Amino acid sequence: MADVVALTAPARPESVRVARQVVARVAADLEFPYDEVDDLRLAVDEACAYLLSLDPPGSTLGVRITTSRGRLEVVASTNARLEGWPPAETPESLAWQILSALVDEAAFETDAAGPAIRLRKRRPDRKA
Amino acid sequence: MTETRGPKTSLGEEDEAELFARAAEDPAAREQLAERYSPLARYLARRLAGRGEPVEDLVQVAHVGLLSAIDRFDPSREVKFSTFATTTIVGELKHHFRDTGWAVRVPRRLQEMGLKLSRLVPELSHELGRSPTIKEIAKRADLSEEEVLEAMDSQQAYTAVSLDAPFDEGSSPAETLGSEDETLGLMDAWASVAPAIRQLPARERRILYLRFFRGQSQTEIAEELGISQMHVSRLLARTLERLRVNLG
């Protein structure tokens, strides 16, 4: 059974900080180690910043965190227009390169609100 | 020099190399390159915007950075220009923030907690043989978990949307690129490097990320990770070597 934590905030830089801290807290509760928590924070930061940089920008930023059994998924979305989404040359884009280095899976998607980015990360198994 | 204006065609890589070769003497070539990469400058300016300053000012600063990158670019180095330009432009934007006072100072309390963590986390990692949980760190540091997470957040010197720490006083964008000539050759293949990077241990990935996407110097990375600059240098060299081997 998966748990969901979701937040909706204005599409502003301050909201990205809120999202970062919420994701870090949820990851810490799942006992993700320090480095992985940090990677997740950075990935959420990049994903949200990218969505906020769309032109013209949306007015809200949504972040939905789903957790189950040591797996964490974050879907960040914004209500910007879908024209030009997903960005062409996705594997080449700086944002995608950063994201794919920080998490297990990263994908540009569309959800009910508009452009979205999905991130997935597994807690590394701990040896005794 | 005359130019035929026809329908827009995409420039091949050879044409671009030619433009760079001519850019020093030919303002028209320089102009073409600037136009071509203007979207990149605008994208970076918007990414780093926030806190109410006018985006158009930042776009101008970003374009100054772009022109500087065009002038300094050495195509023979096998670095993708977009990567080189990104580092230069971001450096220019950060200098602008520092000079115009937009950088927000981190409160002393958080700075101290951050320093404590940067010492404790590597210690604890070494003892446990793995990256510690937030709970374990909080216990060792005698802080609440909230404080640990807060300190972690404030330690992040460069983020995509806000700038919470002053840019390194001594370094220019050129210096942040460093003199690792061989390693810059990797940047061209960055897209194919990403999967290999995911295989790396977390700390090595973080060093690569800080070096090549945040443009941090080895000293800055060393401070952030709580290890010596020599150690960062060795880890970086080893990691890049490992990636080169993986890429064949």
Which two three-digit tokens encode residue B37? Answer: 């990469």
pLDDT at B227 over 60: yes
Task: From chain A, pick out residues whose CB is under 8 angstroms from the CB of B160.
Answer: 16, 45-46, 48-50
pLDDT band at B8 (very low <50, low <70, confident <90, very high): very low
pLDDT band at A126 (very low <50, low <70, confident <90, very high): low
Least confident of A100-109, B61-70, B111-120, B239-248: B239-248
Name A6's bridge partners: A64
Question: Residue A5 class from Cβ within 10 Å (0-12 exposed, 13-18 middle, 19+ buried)?
Answer: middle
Distances (CA, A) of B27 to A40, B24, B33: 44, 7, 10
* Nearest alpha carbon to residue B15 among A40, B185, A29, B3: B3
The more confidently predicted of residues A101 and A86 is A86
Q: So what's the pLDDT on residue A68?
A: 92
In percent, how much of chain A has pLDDT > 90? 44
User: Cα–Cα distance between A118 and A77 in angstroms, integer?
Assistant: 9
| Interchain CB distance below 8 Å, A102 and B205 | yes
Residue of A14, A20, A94 to mutate for B, most B C-beta atoms under 10 A: A94
Least confident of A65-69, B71-75, B100-104, B113-117: B100-104
Of B149, B198, B208, which is closest to A21 when you measure between CB atoms? B149
Q: So what's the pLDDT on residue A9?
A: 96
Please report, as a single letter, which amino acid is at residue A90.
Answer: T
Residue of A53, A92, A121 to mutate for B, most B C-beta atoms under 10 A: A53
Name A7's bridge partners: A63
| Interchain CB distance below 8 Å, B213 and A25 | no
pLDDT band at A29 (very low <50, low <70, confident <90, very high): very high
Residues sharing a CB contact under 8 Å with residue A79, sequence separation 6 or more, in sequence order: A11, A58, A59, A60, A113, A114
Highest mean pLDDT among A16-25, A93-102, B44-53, B71-80: A16-25
Highest mean pLDDT among B18-22, B87-91, B229-233: B18-22
Which two three-digit tokens encode residue B226? Answer: 């709580």
Q: So what's the pLDDT on residue B206?
A: 81
Q: What is the ipTM of this complex?
A: 0.71
Convert B187-211 into a string of H (helix), E (strand) and C (coil). Answer: HCCHHHHHHHHHCCCHHHHHHHHHH
* Nearest alpha carbon to residue B207 among B174, B181, B184, B240: B240
Mean pLDDT of all residues belonging to chain B: 70
User: Cα–Cα distance between A24 and A6 in angstroms, integer?
Assistant: 14
Given a contact cutoff of 8 angstroms between Cβ atoms, the answer to whether A39 and A102 are in contact is: yes
User: Cα–Cα distance between B50 and B211 in angstroms, integer?
Assistant: 24
Summarised one tens digit per residue, pLDDT across range B151-166 is 877 654 334 443 222 2
The more confidently predicted of residues A115 and B54 is A115
Query: Could you tell me the pTM of the whole model?
Result: 0.53
**A98 has a chain B CB within 8 A of its CB:** yes
Summarised one tens digit per residue, pLDDT across range B207-225 is 887 776 666 777 778 887 8
DSSP at B101: T
Q: So what's the pLDDT on residue B48?
A: 67
**B75 vs chain A: nearest CA distance in angstroms?**
19
| Interchain CB distance below 8 Å, A20 and B130 | no
Mean pLDDT over B90-117 rounds to 66
